[in-house]
Amino acid sequence: MPDAPRTTFAPRIFSGIQPSGGLTLGNYLGALKRFVEKQNEGIETIYCLVDLHAITVWQDPAALRRQTREAAAGFLAAGIDPARSILFNQSQVPAHAELGWVFNCVARMGWMGRMTQWKDKAGKNAEAASLGLFAYPALMAADILAYKATMVPVGEDQKQHLELARDIALKFNSDYGVDFFPVVEPIIEGAATRVMSLRDGTAKMSKSDPSDQSRINLTDSADAIAKKIRKARTDPAPLPVTLEGLRDRPEARNLVNIYAGLAGITPEAVIAEHGGAEFGRFKPALADLAVAVLEPITRRMNDLMQDPAAIDRILGEGADRAEALARPVIEGVHDILGMIRSRG
């Protein structure tokens, strides 16, 4: 007997950012810029501020509200159009938590225990870490699969969690003899999907770094951006004339990747234009480019943050649209599981 035809899932992109405050150049090049590009390709795009993930560690409530609005302002200022993409905060759509519980029952403890981010964040104090932090990847899988998303733009540090989402989808389908959830594909592309610290080319640019000089914040002024790039750590040699020459030069490679990401070109093209240049010449060119790209975003973010009610309205409208997509998926899951749905 021939196999039943497999379900064809409509292309749909989902991704999210935790509203933990302080958007950086890394968030822009690694996420926001790519989100806008996907939106403009005409694929259905759903972008979420994952505030339920944020509370896996304690959050000050007033700060969480402010940071959620700031992250939304960052999306909008970078070019996300709420008429073309769905933009919302996770906690306004109950389907995430509902499906997260189902996936807690599908995933295995051993799968969760192998997650490198769990090991990194819990460290030697795992007994004191929240259960939510341990189960975080199941909720991440629910975020994606509540919309039957087929593609997720991710950085290398989230690739393992996406693989777990695939495993959960496959196990659910296998356990219940259905072809209900798609197997999600990662989108990992671009020169600057992982932007490194300006002070250490082997460490990721992070808002948690105690040195503000290590990162470019999306709220930085033009002068601050230029100053940080001028002071970025580099080695004494000029830029190489081939990309291979950057292999053992992490700080130089990072600046080349940042230039490529901001300019929308390849690192090879950057080397073709600037190869052999001293950093005294390359850094000002990079600073000018960074200011030209980021200053309008900063200005737009600041304008948006002056009207928090407008941001809240956009998030609420996005949540309504997200709920309309996710509710039939949750109802389908309940039917598959054998749960009675008899409310009017």
Residue 259: both structure tokens together: 């230039």
Q: Which domain, by its residues, includes 273?
A: 212-303
- Shared domain for 122 and 241, answered yes or no, is no
User: Which pLDDT belongs to residue 118?
Assistant: 76
Stated as kind and residue range, the H or E segment containing 255 is helix 250-263
Residues 62 and 159 in one domain: yes
Return d(Cα 338, Cα 127) in angstroms, integer: 35
Residue 270 lies in a domain: yes
Which residues are CB-neighbours of 200 under 8 A, at least 6 positions away?
Answer: 214, 233, 250, 251
CATH number of the domain within which 229 lies: 1.10.240.10
Q: Are residues 73 and 142 in the same domain?
A: yes
Is 3 part of a structural domain of the chain? no
pLDDT at position 42 = 85
Residue that has been written with the tokens 């806008």 in this structure: 36
Position 126 scores a pLDDT of: 78
Q: ∠192-194-196 over CA atoms, to 5°? A: 100
Per-10-residue mean pLDDT for the chain, 344 residues long?
65 92 90 91 94 93 96 96 97 97 94 79 76 89 96 78 91 97 83 82 90 94 96 95 93 96 94 95 97 96 96 98 98 97 84
Q: Residue 120 CB: number of other CB atoms within 10 A?
A: 9
One domain for residues 123 and 241: no
Which pair of structure tokens corresponds to residue 112?
């969760």
- Among candidate residues 121, 227, 228, 231, the one labeled active-site is 121
**71/178 same-domain check:** yes
Question: For residue 168, what is the enclosing H or E element?
Answer: helix 159-176
| CATH number for the domain that contains residue 179 | 3.40.50.620
207 in active site: yes
Q: Looking at the domain assignment, is residue 75 inside a domain? A: yes
Q: Which whole-number Å values give the CA distances from 187 to 147, 165, 343, in the listed order?
A: 17, 14, 40
Q: Is 159 a catalytic residue?
A: no
Residue linked to tokens 């291979």: 244
14 strand-pairing partners:
46
Is the residue at 201 inside a domain? no
- Do 272 and 174 reside in the same domain of the chain? no
Whether residue 175 sits in one domain with residue 46:
yes
CB distance 52 to 19 below 8 Å: no
State which amino acid sits at residue 175: D
Strand ranges, E, within 38-134:
44-49, 85-89
Q: What is the pLDDT of residue 192?
A: 56
**Pair of tokens at residue 211:** 């040195």
Tell whether 232 and 147 lie within a shared domain: no
> Does a structural domain hold residue 96?
yes
Is 283 marked active-site?
A: no
Q: Which amino acid, one-letter code, is at 288?
A: D
Residues 250, 188: one domain?
no
Catalytic pick from 207, 227, 228, 231?
207
Are residue 17 and residue 84 in the same domain, yes or no?
yes
- Selecting among 33, 38, 148, 204, the annotated active-site residue is 204
What's the confidence (pLDDT) of residue 207? 87
Q: How many domains does the chain have?
A: 2
**Is 199 within the bounds of a domain?**
no
Q: Which of 118, 194, 116, 188 is nearest to 154 (CA)?
A: 188
pLDDT reported for residue 2: 44
What is the identity of the amino acid at 119? Answer: K
269 lies in a domain?
A: yes
Q: Does residue 319 share a domain with residue 277?
A: no
Residues 86 and 184 occupy one common structural domain: yes
Amino acid letter, 65: R
Whether residue 265 is contained in a domain is answered as yes
